[in-house]
Structure 1
Amino acid sequence: MREKAIFAGGCFWCMIKPFDTQPGIESVVAGYTGGHTENPTYEEVCSEKTGHTEAVEITFDPEVFPYDKLVDVYWQQTDPTDAGGQFVDRGSSYRPVIFYTSEEQRMIAEKSKADLEASGRFKNPIVTQIEKAGPFYKAEEYHQDFYKKRSEPL
């Protein structure tokens, strides 16, 4: 049975490839979630007025690549101590968030975050939010699989 996972961590262009290349991943879709506007556009999300974050929705086979491994990949792609965006991408639309789709995902994400905090790997507190998933809106087609369309590495 397939499941969905949703992660936000800066520009969604950079979030696709690390997941897309894993076994058991059926699809990774760039989009927007966490806001209050239905069917937002890229320009609306960038305006910081919709409340959405750029995110990826991953359809995966948990028998092949379990959710806890997806969370491990996620932590490697983000700076979990930066609530104001990620790397050069600044603003709330680039904030780091794990959006859970089930109580099991919430528990796995919370434990993983606590383990990361306890590891002492970061001097600053872990600020990545863990929030219940709401509607996910697929981004415009030119955002999909961007790393495959681009000739230079991101």
Structure 2
Amino acid sequence: MGRGLTGPLLVLSLLLTFGSAAGAAFAAPGRTAILAGGCFWCLEHDLESLPGVIEAVSGYSGGELEDPSYRQVSKGETDHIEVVKVSFDPELISYNGLLDAFWRNVDPLDGGGQFCDRGSQYTSAIFTEGDEQRQAAERSAASIREQLDVESLATEIRPAVPFYPAEKYHQNYAKNNKRKYKFYRWRCGRDARLNALWGGEREQ
């Protein structure tokens, strides 16, 4: 039998083999979507629980000011709105599937905000990255208009612009502040309105 690799050659072979495997693990397939549905605590929680969603990050988008603060956005001092940037594995959940879940966690008929949060900074929107997402969003919106039997929706479809992550204490708020989150969500009437609007078709 021939001799196997030894010494430096063996080390190099192991590094190449396991290094490639590790790189593949960290380079998991993924795409992103930027969605707005009022309070980002709630939308982050709703979308992050979907199979195939890798991560959901609360943040701000839609305005010109760089790196806005929560105080600035919540007071309406910028053109930004609260959004969630969703990273997802298209082999487990499609962009269309993500949009289906999005619609059933927002009120697309409300143009003045969402639920108890009022103002343009809390409106719903889909920020599309490229023609493929834009066309998918437009088809999805047309289906929702037909389903709700309305001529138009308040939810805007907009080209993607820079996304700015929200402050650390806003991330995973539902998990880190369970009691406060549940009380806020109940007091805001979010689920009551969603259940009335979507009924049994709502994605939980």
Q: Which runs of 4+ in 1 moved over 3 A?
A: 122-125
Amino acid of the residue matched to residue 153 of structure 2? I
Moved more, 44-53 or 133-142: 44-53
Q: Where in structure 2 are the equivalents of 1:1-154 lying within 5 Å? A: 1-119=29-147, 121=148, 125-152=152-179, 153=182, 154=185
**Residue 151 of structure 1: how far off its partner (Å):** 2.6
SS of structure 1 residue aligned to 2:65: coil
TM-score (norm 1): 0.95
TM-score (norm 2): 0.72
Structure with the higher strand share, 1 or 2: 1
**Residue 122 of structure 1: how far off its partner (Å):** 5.2
Q: Report the identity percentage.
A: 42
Output the CA distance in 2 between the equivalents of 1:123 and 1:24.
31
Larger Rg: 2
Aligned residues: 153
Gaps of 5+ in 1: none
Q: Is the 8 A contact 2:76 2:121 kept in 1?
A: yes
Cα deviation 1:72-107 (Å, max 9, x = unaligned)? 111011110111100000001001100011211111
Could you say which structure has the greater relative contact order, defined with CA pairs below 8 angstroms and 6 or more residues apart?
1
Output the CA distance in 1 between the equivalents of 2:132 and 2:152.
24
**Residue 26 of structure 1: how far off its partner (Å):** 1.1
Output the CA distance in 1 between the equivalents of 2:138 and 2:79.
23
SS of structure 1 residue aligned to 2:178: coil
> Residues 102, 29 of structure 1: CA spacing in aligned structure 2 closer, same or farther, 3 A cutoff?
same
**Residue 50 of structure 1: how far off its partner (Å):** 1.1
Moved more, 123-132 or 82-91: 123-132
Output the CA distance in 2 between the equivalents of 1:56 and 1:140.
13
> Residues 77, 84 of structure 1: CA spacing in aligned structure 2 closer, same or farther, 3 A cutoff?
same
**Residue 148 of structure 1: how far off its partner (Å):** 0.1
What's the RMSD between the two structures over aligned residues? 1.2
Q: Is the 8 A contact 1:2 1:59 kept in 2?
A: yes
Q: Is the 8 A contact 1:81 1:124 kept in 2?
A: no
Q: Is the 8 A contact 1:13 1:30 kept in 2?
A: yes
